[in-house]
Amino acid sequence: DTALAQIINSVRQAQSAKPAIARLADNIASVFVPAVVAISVLTFFIWGIWGPEPSWGYAFVTAMTVLVIACPCALGLATPISVMVGVGRAAQSGILIRNGEALQIAGRITCLIVDKTGTITEGKPKVTELVTYHGFTQDTVLQIAASVESGSEHPLAAAVLNAAAEQQLSLIPAQDFHAISGQGITAEVNSQRVLFGNPLLLDNNTISYSQCVGDLERLAKLGNTPMLLAVDQKVVGIVAVADPIKPDSAKAVQQLKDNGIKVIMVTGDNETTARAIAKQAGITEIRAQVLPQDKASVVKDIQQQGYITCMVGDGINDAPALAQADIGMAIGTGTDIAIESADMVILQGSLVKIPEAINLSKATMSNIKQNLLGAFFYNVISIPVAAGLLYPFFGLLLNPMIAGAAMALSSVTVVTNANRLRWLKI
């Protein structure tokens, strides 16, 4: 299927999905119909027995008027029409809602957990600095690092490979390649064992990097992700990679804070680098050095604190966390599995769409409640009037034709109110 066909299919599924409030309306409607029939029968006998002459004529007219004016369709339309319009309005703004339930929950989010790479940042990291040791040149360090990363799909690997290509460095065939999640890569280059990754990788392989600590801290404070290159148990260089934040990340974070939503950044980077990036985005709380398989556990821990959570991510390693959160939002520029695990997809990758999705959710839920209350009060007022409640006081009986017009108008009112969402400024 084409991407457009998949988007259309997702919108249709979301529009046909029933959030909890819709199921409540259906339950009310299922009781409403027999209740109206019972009221109509009761009205018939009350007028037939105690009404003025011709009593059974009055009885027939009032009983029919009750059936005509009652409008279960307004109750039945109240929720699905608002959901349909709300999902369509979201699609116009570049927000793909794949789950109708998410439209209800989004407005109640109290904590947003956001991945760093590709979500807060551009996801297009670049090599910013090379530090060398033991007589290795910058070109040699970059060449070996790129050779090791040649089999990796990680965004940081792309940065190293691009830097090597810019310097026109040829890659050396790497063998015995092993990617270690959350740590780095090991391989064999020119019959030498090479490790390339974060300090944890070297710790687990008992390689000392004490002479590099100063450089690591300096680079991290600048917002870089420093990666150590070790050849035959000896650190020979550091490759520093930086991923600039998206232009609208800070604006989106501030809007979320203004809505009373707690924002937490989760990343596999060390705490110094994570705090440098978080500071640029205006985020004060972080979870650093989180392994990919542990992101879902972080979300679960936050949920256990009583927060209604939303996870925002773009990578394959975010998929379990997206599924664990009350709502998962995927960046449309991310991986297919992340998008499939999410309830909402931000098609253009702009984080300001998150506050927009939350505002739209609140507006849609408010619209649904308006429709339900309007339909409820219409029936509560109109049915007694149709049954002849005003006759003893004013001598008035409702004409069945007017009752039919009122019934149609109630449904039109619900549809018109729902369509106000089309022009909602979010």
Catalytic residues: 115
Q: Is the dihedral of CA 352, 353, 357, 359 positive or negative?
A: positive
CA angle centred on 275, ends 270 and 280, rounded to 5°: 135
Distance of alpha carbon 168 from alpha carbon 162, whole angstroms: 10
The gap from C-alpha 128 to its chain's centroid, in whole angstroms, comes to: 32
Q: Which residues pair with residue 238 across a beta bridge?
A: 131, 228
| Of 387, 389, 412, the residue nearest 61 (C-alpha) | 387
| Of 114, 154, 97, the residue nearest 351 (C-alpha) | 114
Q: Tell me what percent of the chain is helix, strand and coil, each rounded to the nearest 5.
A: 60, 15, 25
Distances in Å between the Cα of 166 and the Cα atoms of 71, 142, 146 are: 70, 11, 12
Q: Which amino acid is at 120?
A: I
Coil/strand/helix, residue 290 = coil
Strands (E) across 13-145 are located at 95-97, 111-115, 126-132
Residues 227/264, Cβ–Cβ less than 8 Å: no
Distance of alpha carbon 312 from alpha carbon 283, whole angstroms: 14
Q: Which helix (H) or strand (E) holds 189?
A: strand 184-189
Distances in Å between the Cα of 96 and the Cα atoms of 100, 163, 344, 392 are: 11, 35, 6, 56
Distance of alpha carbon 214 from alpha carbon 126, whole angstroms: 22
Bridge-based pairing state of the strands 126-132 and 192-197: unpaired
